[in-house]
A and B are shown apart, each in its own frame.
Chain A
């Protein structure tokens, strides 16, 4: 190990007074200001010219939303670089350092900042906000359902809430791991200085940010009463809120697409010397496969939502049978997007779970290559199963059998990934810290979610279950119990790296048990409702379903309590938690070898990788547990170029 002379920190670079150009004056306030301004202009103009004609209000809403999104991104600086490219006025090195946030302190979190760690943190906060919004809506739903004929919400509002709850959660879960962790952690894991396209990275964040107000605006535009799947003809007939809803998705698609491309290119081209594909940490693989699958799914979302807008705002008839359209067209394209999308959600957190299991069992990922093959197999199969959502719609009954078989086939690679997780833990000397608790919970929940999926893929059984609460329970066990709990494990695991602080695990365990209990009570309640035959998405129900509903609602309140405790733990630790050492879990992957806080461009000295990602046992006698880490004093926050802990670091030496 050589000890390099610490080079000057990039953060300390003195930039000229003009570095950054327009970026100097752009931040979230100019974004909001310009977005509101352009949205308003679009509204005034379209109102004056189009309102009153056929489909006038749909046009007006579409234009207004478009104005807002474009204006916001102009105000943020999303388009600076492409326009400067076009004019041949490329950004200079100084401009780029400015855009990366040099010498802007915490104000860079409110700007178009290209540093992947800033983008990751921005995503993390956005995801938390989205979950808070979606969770609040969920609690309103469950509160409404506490008695059979509750009038807490009127049916129209109830439907609007159910729809937005669904879509907020879908958006949040799609970005919950690929946003924060594939951005913050993954590049460091592979020894890169940043993502392949830092500006696209910042763009993906601010674009999805600008989509959120469109979605929330639906409440003020009459509400979307069609459910998150917005099936035609309900969606074609819905109030103008539906146009804002479709615009949300269109904008979201742009974000997910560029993010997916960025992830793939980063891994393909930015790996450190010696970081061969076979040495990539498993989380990296998960991010790549998830990104690629997203790239497959998003065009379908774009097509179908654009057609929805043209149907509503220009009178086309893609989904209107009286005029030559077909609802099956909607359902097909929607689910061609929709089923791959659930794996876009699932694969990255599962990969994170494997990563965490390996660290805490102090063993390599069991069946590393098999797990990668499993991810790829899941991704490939998942594009061939979409019609299992359409068994009861009357579309192509002859294809029900084949789609049942492809769906059931998916459970094979899914099971293999599962075995890899359990195999990784098997006979490990498991160090049960907070992230591991959530790994166990993931395993428990995901078994239930997966097994009930197989019931649903059975065509005859689905005749009974389709459209009832059993489906709701199934996908909450997979999405919340599986994917989101996996993401929660990831949060606990990487929190010290991202924030430089340790979580308070005592509070964390209280949160954990509350959440674990809440999930079981809530969704067992919903399975019960489903077995009894209660339809989903209804505001009032027959009294025979009341006990099961009350169980579910009580569970939901427990669950909410758990999340609030968890959130408290996070925010508290973020502000005044114990300062984290660079590598609190004694993990082997590269992100733990750089100091915390991670310097701009991560590695001052380029790392060269010389072994597989999980070299446990080296230096520790077999089977011996690594002593639990207990910081005796707050480790100093050492600048890059020296080391933060006693461990060798990638930044040029030991201390």
Chain B
């Protein structure tokens, strides 16, 4: 392989990892350092992280597809009549995970909760988007952080509601495949929402420090992609769970 060399005299620092800093570009807000170095603009870093995010979302999409596959597969098989126990009666009982008889169908979970959670995640994504637009317009950091703060409230509310839903389910994990898969959906949603809330907290704090001023709005866009994905995947699970008892 032939190469030529170009001279330049600067050997600069490491790239940032999973979560970049924002001061490769525009005014440096905190500290004088510039980890991105002169060659890697913040935008270049953002490009890399965008690709990373799409790949991770791709993986998460497969996770989602397999969850939904599980739902429909077990529902179709209805092994031992215990998808949701529709035909369990006193005359011909089914058995739960502890060997006790189940004599009536497993109650359907109230879709209200799931719908509320999906709405909260959609609102969270919307407000992240508002925050991005504010940053893009060059609004004051108070407004960027303000929208981010509202988004964070919705994220935390979604987490709280998902935890709450575990308390009010009409079934437990031992009540057959419908109950199992439903709770698995909830657990997976909860995990995603917690991750979202972590990122949302970062967005809020950083916006408050003015990290998205000065032309680095695209860093918020990255978070918006993630927030929208979380909203989409949460909604998909809710729709499946609500419509296909």
Contact = CB atoms under 8 A, between A and B. Distances in A.
Contact of A299 (B8, B11, B63, B176): B63
B52 A261 contact: yes
Given A606-B6, A610-B2, A316 B180 contact: yes
A295 interface: yes
B85 to A, nearest CB: 8
Contact of A650 (B3, B73, B173, B202): B3
Interface string A306-335: 110011001111101111111011001100
A54 interface: yes
B80 A198 contact: no
Interface string B165-191: 000000011101111110110010000
Contacts of B60: 299
Nearest to B21: A90
Interface in A615-654: 615, 618, 648, 650-653
Contacts of A325: 74, 79, 177, 180
Given A91-B35, A265-B55, A299-B59, A605 B14 contact: no
B101 interface: no
Interface stretch (B90-98, B153-161, B231-239): B90-98
Nearest to B81: A324
Nearest to A191: B3
A542 interface: no
B181 to A, nearest CB: 8
A317 B55 contact: no
A124 to B, nearest CB: 21
Contacts, number: 254
Interface size class of B (residues with CB under 8 A): 35 or more
B118 to A, nearest CB: 21
B245 to A, nearest CB: 14
Interface in B1-18: 1-18
A92 B13 CA distance: 9
A7 interface: yes
Interface in B84-143: 85, 95-98
B207 to A, nearest CB: 9
B240 interface: no
A651 B7 CA distance: 10
Contact of B80 (A257, A269, A281, A324): A324
Nearest to B31: A92
Contacts of A652: 5, 7
A243 interface: no
B163 interface: no
Contact of A196 (B10, B13, B48, B74): B48
Contacts of B1: 279, 281, 588-590, 593, 609, 611-615
B15 to A, nearest CB: 6
B217 to A, nearest CB: 17
Nearest to A310: B184
Contact of B180 (A92, A96, A318): A318
A134 to B, nearest CB: 27
Interface stretch (A79-87, A145-153, A493-501, A533-541): A79-87
Contacts of B35: 90-93, 96
Nearest to A295: B59
A260 B35 CA distance: 24
Contact of B19 (A81, A318, A326): A81
Interface string A581-593: 0000000111001
Contacts of A262: 52
Given A257-B56, A316-B184, A614-B1, A88 B173 contact: no
Contacts of B12: 93
A93 B33 contact: yes
B173 A316 contact: yes
B243 interface: no
A129 interface: no
Contact of A264 (B6, B10, B55, B174): B55
A268 B50 CA distance: 12
A570 B178 CA distance: 55
A292 B79 CA distance: 35
A303 interface: yes
Interface in A257-316: 257, 260-262, 264-265, 268-270, 272-274, 279, 281, 295-296, 298-300, 302-303, 306-307, 310-311, 314-316
A299 B66 contact: yes
B58 interface: yes
Nearest to B211: A88
B5 A1 contact: yes
Contacts of A609: 1-3
B18 A199 contact: yes
A298 B205 CA distance: 33
A298 B2 CA distance: 38
A38 interface: no
A200 interface: yes
A551 to B, nearest CB: 42
Contacts of A86: 198-199, 201-202, 205
A94 interface: yes
A455 interface: no
Contacts of A333: 66, 69-70
B192 interface: no
A315 B98 contact: yes
A306 B183 CA distance: 12
B82 A298 contact: no
A451 interface: no
Contacts of A310: 173, 180, 183-184, 187
B51 A610 contact: no
A194 B15 CA distance: 8
Given A85-B19, A323-B80, A323-B95, A303 B67 contact: yes
Interface in B199-215: 199, 201-202, 205-206, 208-209, 211
Contacts of A329: 70, 73-74
A183 to B, nearest CB: 14
A608 B66 contact: no
B150 to A, nearest CB: 18
A605 to B, nearest CB: 5
B48 to A, nearest CB: 5
Contact of A323 (B4, B9, B177, B202): B177
B5 A607 contact: yes
A96 B66 contact: no
B59 to A, nearest CB: 5
B63 A302 contact: yes
B184 A1 contact: no
Nearest to A253: B59
A653 B3 CA distance: 11
Nearest to B203: A86
Nearest to A599: B11
Contacts of B66: 299-300, 303, 333, 336
B51 A264 contact: yes
A398 interface: no
Contacts of A336: 66
Interface of B: 1-19, 21, 23, 30-31, 33-35, 44, 47-48, 51-52, 55-56, 58-60, 62-63, 66-67, 69-70, 73-74, 77-83, 85, 95-98, 172-174, 176-181, 183-184, 187, 198-199, 201-202, 205-206, 208-209, 211
Interface of A: 1-2, 4-5, 7, 10, 54, 81-82, 85-88, 90-94, 96-97, 99-100, 114, 191, 194, 196-200, 203, 257, 260-262, 264-265, 268-270, 272-274, 279, 281, 295-296, 298-300, 302-303, 306-307, 310-311, 314-318, 320-326, 328-329, 332-333, 336, 588-590, 593, 601, 604-615, 618, 648, 650-653
25 contacts: A4-B7, A81-B17, A82-B18, A86-B202, A96-B13, A100-B14, A191-B3, A194-B14, A197-B48, A199-B18, A272-B3, A299-B59, A303-B66, A315-B174, A316-B179, A324-B78, A324-B85, A325-B79, A326-B73, A326-B79, A606-B5, A606-B6, A606-B8, A607-B5, A615-B1
